[in-house]
Structure 1
Amino acid sequence: MTTVVILGSRLNIVRAAVDLGVRALWIRPPGATAQVLPDAVEVRECDLADYPALRSIVLGADRVAGVFSLTEAGLLATARLNTELVLPTNSPATVRALLDKDLMRQAMADRGLPVVRHRLVTGLADLLDFHAEVGPLILKPAGGTGSQDVFRIEDAESARAAMAAVTRPMIAEELLTGREISVEAFSADGRHYPIGFTDKTFLADGSFIETGHTMPAAVDDPDQVVAAVTDFLDALGVTQGPTHTELMLTPAGPRIIESHTRVGGAGIADLVGLAYGVDLPRLTVGVPLGLVDPPTALPAPIGGAASRAVLPPPGVITDIDVPDLPAQVFAALDCAVGDVIPPLRSGNDKKAGVVIAAGADAEAAARAAERAIALVKIVTS
């Protein structure tokens, strides 16, 4: 039987592989939550950052037809392993560029694409000089996810506070104004197929931490947005698999914020299925194996879908109450009594879970998700 290797902790892509009739070698980080799995799934534990250990496991497996990951930590290893096995893949150089925002913007500039003004900053003086030149800035890690260590720089005081809080390489970018969306897409053999548009909600404190997503996002000029994403993916050399590209719709047109060679997190794969009828994990595994055809055009929405994060106060969970929810609404909690909910400082911090709702359209789904969030009670002390 054909074997595919899955790197990371995402169960949805493992299920997709099994549903396609292939054997899955699932390599997860040590200590991952145990799962009840079909016989066609073999589980191994390995640090995804330990490439020699991963390589030993994968090259020792029988009849590997593809290596896949929907986890940020597994993307570069996936590209390296597929390259060694001479299997369809994005190049390691492409994945590195998408993981490093400075390399990403260099690639965009080399292809003549619009690039937000930016600078790698090495200290406070460098940041203050760039702020004096450009004005309001966003300061964020050159390589990072989940809006971790992302700061708005409005003045010298905010610059000092931000630089005092970080210890890793940072990139400062001109603050874009407008509406932020993401574009979910899929690539096969160098052709890019848009799947859908996603709206975002953020914490009310003005931070950049995402708390929810809604599909389909209404976009005034979808062709312009799709062209911006397609040109960007070409510039970075993306050829295979799912992408999650974040853009700001500015008065001057769409501007790329960043992108990832994976499906978006926080339940976006579920939302794509509900709003567009497209199974992104199934495409991820099935298209390179020749078991599934790629989409040929932007699919028409079949409804609306929305997710909202469950955000109890920080502390130790003492009680959980999830009442019966309306049809087409479900809560996916990732917590139990006794778990500790930390202060929410980034999108990577542990959340209690997510509520996902379907509706006749995006607005109806968003209303249903907001109502459901109010019904889920998680008590902390």
Structure 2
Amino acid sequence: MSGAELRPVAVLVDAYTTGNHLPIAFAKLGVDVVHVQSTPELMTSMRLPELSRYRAALPYGTPAETAERLAAHAPICVVAGQEPGVPLADELAERLGLPGNGTALSAARRDKYEMIEALRRAGVRCADQYKSGSADELVAWAERRADYPVVVKPLSSAATEGVAICSDAREVREAAEAVLGTVNIFGERNDEVLVQSFLRGEEYMADFVSYDGERYACCVWQYHKRLVGTHRIYDRDSVLPPDAGPAPAIIAYLHEVHDALGLAYGPTHAEVIVTPEGPVLVEIGARLSGGVVPDFHDRCLGGNQADLTALAHARPEEFRARHAGRTYRKLAEASMVLTSTTLDGVVEELDEEVVAEIRALESVHTFVPKVAPGKRIRPTVDLYTATAAVHLVHDSAETLARDYARVQELKDRVYRLRAEETATAGAAAAPAATDASEVAA
């Protein structure tokens, strides 16, 4: 056997978007990776896996066929790289006899209705909800409950796709009809829609890495959003200290959520709202956060979720000794900014002088424009119609605030639009996927 063939192997299922950080993280620890895709064709709505980083990329097959092919590589773990890969990763780990979360609660880790019902059965604080394939029934539930606003959303999507905050029956019907019968960003048909009670309070996100039920809290960030019509769109996130404010309560609550959903292994990305009664789950994904930028998180948090995930699976004893039961440290002031727009047209080119000015700001760590020349820029309604991702980090909160304000002044000047208003078929497609802050939940 060659030296490469003697190296341990990790299996990554659907390593789209920030899943691309995992091959690099495992390589640092001397572990090769094999890629598995859960669908016959790659999902082009997300940034594709960089397959050159893999020892092998297996053809699509049934779980039994795939497990048999993987057995030849003697893998040490199976990790979901993105949301659609969660159920298959659970099943492959189970078939191969590897540590994993098991299949008994796989549906509750993808289907947002089943997710909340699993919490309810476990006695964990959660939202009221109802699902149906009928807009009439969804409206009837909201009217019977008579406590607007309510939230309408797809059962299995991400990036706030199709999420609407509705203040009356008409808006519920319009939001439900806008989702029913469509296909989400993962290629799944929306045959049913979920309506939930509106959770009143501030919204936060938190990431964890687990191994055998022992967890490390990677971060807690506060969301800052604003309402545009029925859509709450992202503005920026701010990192919180782990031992003050709402962070300790959020971390404690999410330990309960992990236990209720059988999340004992691997990375997770959760969103919660801190209500007057305490934290309540919006949703949780059994995969990396869509906002992971490893060197940015190393700078402001003392570590990053991708490297911690690889460490937990490749060197579990080291992970336990260094991280289990602990939390991140806030090393600097930091924000993740997602710029919005009211522009609507085809991008002719990027103004490189404006891009350079943003990147030269003192606290800017990363600036990633999300709409390529030739693509259509549209008014922002969700993460996929955000126009840029900007990561700010600095010791000074004042510097961060100053640079954030300047980014807001410059954000629309990044894009020069064509004079004509109509887009070609290719330009009308969704914005090209990027890696930074792409999928939040």
**What range describes the TM-score normalised by the shorter chain of this pair?**
0.7 to 0.9
Match of 1:20 in 2: 29
How far apart are the structure 2 equivalents of 1:205 and 1:255?
A: 23
Question: Cα distance, 1:239 vs. partner?
Answer: 0.3
Within the candidate set 72, 75, 78, 1:64 is matched to: 75
Q: CA RMSD for the aligned pairs?
A: 2.9
In the aligned structure 1, how far is the partner of 2:248 from the partner of 2:88? Answer: 34
Q: Cα gap change, 1:69/1:353 in structure 2, threshold over 3 Å: closer, same or farther?
A: farther
State the 1:142 CA deviation: 2.1
| AA in 2 matched with 1:23 | D
The yes-or-no answer on 1:308 pairing with 2:337 is: yes
Q: Does 1:120 align with 2:128?
A: no
The residue identity in structure 1 corresponding to 2:11 is V
**2:95 matched to 1:93?**
no
1:5 corresponds to: 11
5+ residue gaps, structure 1, are none
Matched, 1:380 2:417: yes
Q: Is residue 371 of structure 2 the alignment partner of residue 331 of structure 1?
A: no
Confirm whether residue 279 of structure 1 aligns to residue 304 of structure 2.
Answer: yes
Question: Which residue of the partner structure matches residue 185 of structure 2?
Answer: none
SS class of match (2:104): helix
Once superposed, which parts of structure 1, at least 4 consecutive aligned residues long, lie more than 6 Å away? none
Instruction: Choose 143-152 or 271-280, whichever is displaced more.
Output: 271-280
Is the CA contact 2:153–2:193 (under 8 Å) kept in the aligned structure 1? yes
Note the C-alpha offset of 1:351.
Answer: 4.6
Distance, in Å, in 1 between the alignment partners of 2:401 and 2:195 is 33
Q: Is the 8 A contact 1:269 1:281 kept in 2?
A: yes
Cα distance in 2 for residues equivalent to 1:262 and 1:33: 16
Q: Distance in 2 between matches of 1:359 and 1:197?
A: 17
Aligned to 1:64, what secondary structure does the other structure show? coil
Work out whether residues 305 and 366 of structure 1, in 8 Å CA contact, stay in contact via their aligned partners in 2: no
**1:129 pairs with 2:140:** yes
The 3-state SS of whatever aligns with 2:77 is: strand
Distance 1:268 1:177, change over 3 A: farther
Whole-angstrom CA distance in 2 between matches of 1:30 and 1:43: 18
Of residues 332, 341, 355 in structure 1, which corresponds to 2:377? 341
Counterpart contact for 1:3–1:65, Cα < 8 Å: yes
Match of 1:158 in 2: 171
Given the alignment, which residue of 391, 400, 420 partners 1:356? 391
Q: Who is 1:42 aligned against?
A: 55
Q: 1:251 maps to which residue?
A: 276
TM-score (norm 1): 0.87
Instruction: Please list the CA deviations of residues 20-66 of structure 1 after superposition, one character each: whole Å capped at 9, or x if unmatched.
Output: 1111224463766685956xx3353756xx64598168526523222
Q: Tell me how far apart the structure 2 counterparts of residues 86 and 115 of structure 1 sit (CA, whole Å).
A: 33
Shifted more, 241-250 versus 146-155: the winner is 146-155
- Write the deviation string for residues 149-199 of structure 1: whole angstroms up to 9, x where unpaired: 212222122122223222131121111111000122221111233222111
**Alpha-carbon shift at residue 234 of structure 1 (Å):** 0.8
Residue 108 of structure 1: CA displacement? 1.1
Which of residues 240, 244, 264 is equivalent to 1:216? 240
Report deviation, 1:204: 4.8
Percent identical among aligned pairs is: 21
Task: Answer yes or no: is the 8 Å Cα contact 1:271–1:305 preserved in 2.
Answer: no
Whole-angstrom distance in 2 between the partners of 1:318 and 1:353: 16
SS of 2:179 mapped into structure 1? coil
Instruction: Select the residue among 136, 156, 160 that pairs with 1:147.
Output: 160
Q: CA deviation at 1:209?
A: 3.3
Q: Please state if 1:298 is matched with 2:327.
A: yes
How many angstroms apart in 2 are the aligned matches of 1:152 and 1:213?
Answer: 20
Contact 1:199–1:217 under 8 Å retained in 2: no
Stretches of structure 2 that go unaligned for 5 or more consecutive residues are: 1-6, 181-190, 419-441
State whether residues 220 and 240 of structure 2, in contact with CA within 8 Å, keep that contact through their aligned partners in structure 1: yes
Letter in 2 for 1:66: C
Tell me the CA shift for residue 255 of structure 1. Answer: 1.1
CA distance in 2, matches of 1:379, 1:194: 41
